[in-house]
Amino acid sequence: MIGGRARRRLLEAGQVVAILAFIAIMLVPILWIALAAFKRHVDVYQLKLVFTPTFENFARVFAEPYDLGTKLFNSTIVATVTVLIAIPIATAAAYAFSRFRLRGQTLLLVVILATQFVPAVVIVLPFFLMFRDLGLLDTLTGLVIVNLAIVMPFAVWMIKGFIDGIPVDTEEAALVDGSSRLQVIRNIVLPMAAPGLVTAGIFCFIIAWNEFLFALILTSREAVTLPIGLALFKAEEGDLWNLMAAAGIIIMVPMFVLALLIRRHFVQGMTMGAVR
Amino acid sequence: MASVSLRGVTKAWGAVKGVDDQSLEIADREFLVLLGPSGCGKTTTMRMIAGLEEPSAGDILIGERRVNDDLPKDRDIAMVFQNYGLYPHMTVRGNIAYPLKVRGTPTADIAPRVDAAAAQVELTALLDRKPKELSGGQRQRVALARAIVRTPKVFLMDEPLSNLDAKLRVSMRAELKNLSHRLQVTTVYVTHDQIEAMTLADRVAVMSEGRIVQLGSPERIYNDPETLFVASFIGSPAMNLVAGRIVDGVFSTTEGPLLTLPPSAPVRAHDQVVLGVRPEDIGVVAPGDGDIDATVFAVENTGDSVLTTIRLGAETLVARSDRYLKTVIDERIGLRCSPDHLYLFDGPGGKRLR
């Protein structure tokens, strides 16, 4: 028999091991990429931690023929514009869903989400044909439209959750105090939902930033984004892992910086629903 | 300042009627309390006056003006919510200033008025805090200050004290009373707490199932209830109510004759009747000296008085006596009912028999 205390110790130790294993599974690939980005091509497959670091990979990915700079620019524009359009519209929709009783509300909410149940591969071809006819192939505008379609359902649902968490009393107090509905939204709802809006914004940015399939099919030269740029490194001379890793770092770093900058909002937003 | 009138106001959600064809005249500067159990329609009535709920039928007037189609902001009212409805992202100062700011008061006028309102409710030291840094009582004061920073035509208060602990509630009640006396603004106050209603109101409207069942001064409501519902709702401990019948001026329960009614009793014979008598109108006397002899079931000393419970068959009676009464469980005692304070209600309908 194991005593109660010993058993608890054992359990705790087990937990720690499990957590460490989980973290390792998550982080080792990233670490591998981070190291590979600074290795020469010949060193990539050697698992040694000591090597002569080089910045040559970063220089090469920005040069022709890879030209990652343009792709970085494209990705930034697409993701940023998507967020700038998606969040205000989603907020308006979420507010309506949260505060007004609409006919067929539940159905509508499910339908919005249901657009995401359709596998992207299934609808990418219709999108291609439609965009070809509309002249939107290989344009940033086209990519923004596609990304909006992808992120809006998530944004609406997420923001609705945050607005649901704002007590109706507070809004009614503002109405009685002399505000119009729009003033209530501007003065009360938006400031109170701000952490949530930021969270939703980051979420949408990440989705748009990493979007691969649509960008792959719908762009060819002008509007190619970073994730597609990555695929260029699967060349005839084999997989250029060192270049791919350098490009991977360039894709990841903005995410890290973004997350660090708005960490406070992010945590606040993530816990907002929970601590009521 | 203004009067408030409800004329045949109904609020229905499908077949459910929250407020049923309600009419009510509230005089200028009156403090009217809407009192009733939860779900009786009191809050809905108030919310319709505020414009937060649209009446299904009827008219609402503030002053002489019909406000049915006015937005809340155009009704010139101030409201205190049960959960205070403070703006968590603003300081206390910002909260109190908001009604002025949003109505376009010149900036120079705002600060002195905020200071004055804060001083009225003793918040001056806390003006730069956020609501989450305040205690429940302090939040309540912020809500009050926000209401009094303007001089609206009508104050609406929706259970403003119910989230406070018992002790704070009593002291805030006194402050509210003092404040309303000083401000002299028409006030509609919703509560389910009969003590709040009794202490604060000029008139109390007791509501049940979407209707006002009695409207009158607190004294009138307490001393002269018109229905069984009002009698049972007002008073703590509640009025003793015993079902039975009256034959030849004698009230009997299924257990047998209980009490000979005084000559002033409104009926001499009635088949189904409920006899009501308040605990403080029952005296505990020596066995044989009273109207009823009984055995003590429980004795509760509340500090300021002693509650003696006796059982009569299935019925329970409570007598409230002064704090020096000494009785023990199972003791035989007599009970004497004050003949001027017996209430008789028609059994099925609950209407007072007069």
pLDDT in tens, A91-148: 999 999 999 988 899 999 999 888 888 888 898 999 999 999 999 999 999 999 999 9
Q: Which residues does B171 contact at the CB level (< 8 Å), separation at least 6? A: none
Six-digit token pair at B224?
């002269």
Q: Which residues of A touch B102 (CB under 8 A)?
A: 174, 177-179, 183, 187
Query: Amino acid identity, residue A162?
Result: F
- Average pLDDT of the residues in A75-98: 96
Q: pLDDT tens-digit profile of B157-168?
A: 999 998 888 888
Could you tell me the pLDDT band of residue A63, with boundaries at 50, 70 and 90?
Answer: confident
Give me the pLDDT at residue B281, please. 94
A179:B86 CB<8 A: no
A178:B103 CB<8 A: yes
Beta bridge partners of B35: B191, B206
Of residues A258 and B199, which shows the higher confidence score? Answer: B199
Give me the pLDDT at residue A221, please. 87
Q: To which residue do tokens 């607190």 refer?
A: B218
Is B34 in contact with B45 (CB distance < 8 Å)? Answer: yes
Give me the pLDDT at residue B348, please. 80
Whether the CB of B85 is below 8 Å from some CB of chain A: the reply is yes
- Average pLDDT of the residues in B191-202: 93
**For residue B243, which phi and psi values (nearest 5 degrees)?**
-85, 145
Give me the pLDDT at residue B50, please. 96
Of residues A57 and A266, which shows the higher confidence score? Answer: A57
CA-to-CA distance for B12 and A69, rounded, in angstroms?
64
Distance from CA of A266 to the nearest CA of B (A): 17
Cα maximum dimension of chain B: 77
**Beta-strand runs (E) in A86-201:** none
**CA angle, A197 then A161 then A211, to 5°:** 60
Q: To which residue do tokens 């003949």 refer?
A: B339
Could you tell me the pLDDT band of residue A273, with boundaries at 50, 70 and 90?
Answer: very low
Q: pLDDT tens-digit profile of A178-202?
A: 999 999 999 999 999 988 898 899 8
Distance from CA of A271 to the nearest CA of B (A): 16
Q: Which residues of B touch A173 (CB under 8 A)?
A: 79, 81, 84-87, 143, 146
Mean pLDDT of chain B: 92
Query: Amino acid identity, residue A249?
Result: I
Give me the pLDDT at residue A271, please. 56
Parallel/antiparallel/unpaired status of strands B31-35 and B186-191: parallel
Distance from CA of B159 to the nearest CA of A (A): 13
Sheet arrangement for strand B240-247: B256-260, B250-253, B240-247, B270-277, B342-346
Distance from CA of B208 to the nearest CA of A (A): 24
| Domain at B4-233, CATH class | alpha beta
Q: pLDDT tens-digit profile of B215-263?
A: 999 999 999 999 999 999 998 889 999 999 999 989 998 888 888 888 8
Whether the CB of B73 is below 8 Å from some CB of chain A: the reply is yes
Q: Quick one: which of B216, B209, B192, B189 has its CA closest to B41?
A: B209
Of residues A55 and A84, which shows the higher confidence score? Answer: A84
B85:A169 CB<8 A: yes
Give me the pLDDT at residue A276, please. 32
- Average pLDDT of the residues in A152-156: 94
**For residue A151, which phi and psi values (nearest 5 degrees)?**
-85, -25
DSSP conformational letter for B162 = T
* For residue A267, pLDDT beyond 70: no
CATH 3.40.30.10 for domain B240-346: no
Q: To which residue do tokens 């704070």 refer?
A: B168
Fold of A64-272: MetI-like fold (1.10.3720)
**For residue B272, which phi and psi values (nearest 5 degrees)?**
-120, 115
Partner residue facing B83 (CB), from A167, A180, A187 = A167
- Average pLDDT of the residues in B123-131: 93
Cis amide prior to A65 (ω within 30 degrees): yes
Distance from CA of A56 to the nearest CA of B (A): 50
**Beta-strand runs (E) in chain B:** 4-13, 16-26, 31-35, 57-62, 65-66, 77-80, 154-158, 186-191, 203-208, 211-216, 240-247, 250-253, 256-260, 270-277, 282-285, 292-301, 305-312, 315-322, 332-337, 342-346
Q: What is the CA radius of gyration of chain A?
A: 23
Q: Which residue of A has its CA nearest to B151?
A: A177
* For residue A204, pLDDT beyond 90: yes
- Average pLDDT of the residues in B306-319: 89
Give me the pLDDT at residue B146, please. 95
A173:B77 CB<8 A: no
pTM of the model: 0.82
Q: To which residue do tokens 């792709």 refer?
A: A71
Mean pLDDT of chain A: 88
Give me the pLDDT at residue A236, please. 66
**For residue B28, which phi and psi values (nearest 5 degrees)?**
-55, 135
Whether the CB of B46 is below 8 Å from some CB of chain A: the reply is no
* For residue A3, pLDDT beyond 80: no
CA-to-CA distance for B39 and B43, rounded, in angstroms?
8
Give me the pLDDT at residue A230, please. 84
Q: How far is CA B160 from CA A52, A136, A150, B64, B79, in A?
A: 72, 59, 46, 28, 10
Give me the pLDDT at residue A270, please. 57
Could you tell me the pLDDT band of residue A274, with boundaries at 50, 70 and 90?
Answer: very low
Q: Quick one: which of B9, B134, B121, B129 has its CA closest to B67?
A: B9
Provide residues of A within 8 Å CB-CB of chain B.
Answer: 167, 169-170, 172-180, 183, 187-188, 191-192
Q: pLDDT tens-digit profile of B22-70?
A: 999 999 999 999 999 999 999 999 999 999 999 999 999 999 899 999 9
Per-domain boundaries in chain B: 4-233, 240-346
B102:A187 CB<8 A: yes
Whether the CB of B102 is below 8 Å from some CB of chain A: the reply is yes
Give me the pLDDT at residue A24, please. 93
B86:A170 CB<8 A: yes
Q: Which residue of B has its CA nearest to A173?
A: B85
**For residue A80, which phi and psi values (nearest 5 degrees)?**
-65, -50
Q: Which residue of B has its CA nearest to A182?
A: B102
What's the ipTM?
0.85
Query: Amino acid identity, residue A237?
Result: E
Q: Which residue of A has its CA nearest to B95?
A: A174
Give me the pLDDT at residue A260, please. 82
Whether the CB of B12 is below 8 Å from some CB of chain A: the reply is no
Partner residue facing B50 (CB), from A176, A183, A191 = A176
* For residue A272, pLDDT beyond 90: no
Could you tell me the pLDDT band of residue A275, with boundaries at 50, 70 and 90?
Answer: very low
Helices (H), chain B: 42-50, 92-102, 107-120, 136-148, 166-183, 194-200, 218-223, 228-233
CA-to-CA distance for B146 and A22, rounded, in angstroms?
52
Could you tell me the pLDDT band of residue B187, with boundaries at 50, 70 and 90?
Answer: very high
Partner residue facing A175 (CB), from B73, B82, B143 = B73
* For residue A23, pLDDT beyond 70: yes
Chain length of chain A: 276
Q: Which residue of B has its CA nearest to A170?
A: B85
User: Torsion-angle region of residue A34: left (phi > 0), alpha (psi -120 to 50) or beta?
Assistant: alpha
Give me the pLDDT at residue B260, please. 87
Q: Which residues of B touch A169 (CB under 8 A)?
A: 81-85
Q: Quick one: which of B255, B282, B256 has its CA closest to B343?
A: B282
Give me the pLDDT at residue A26, please. 93
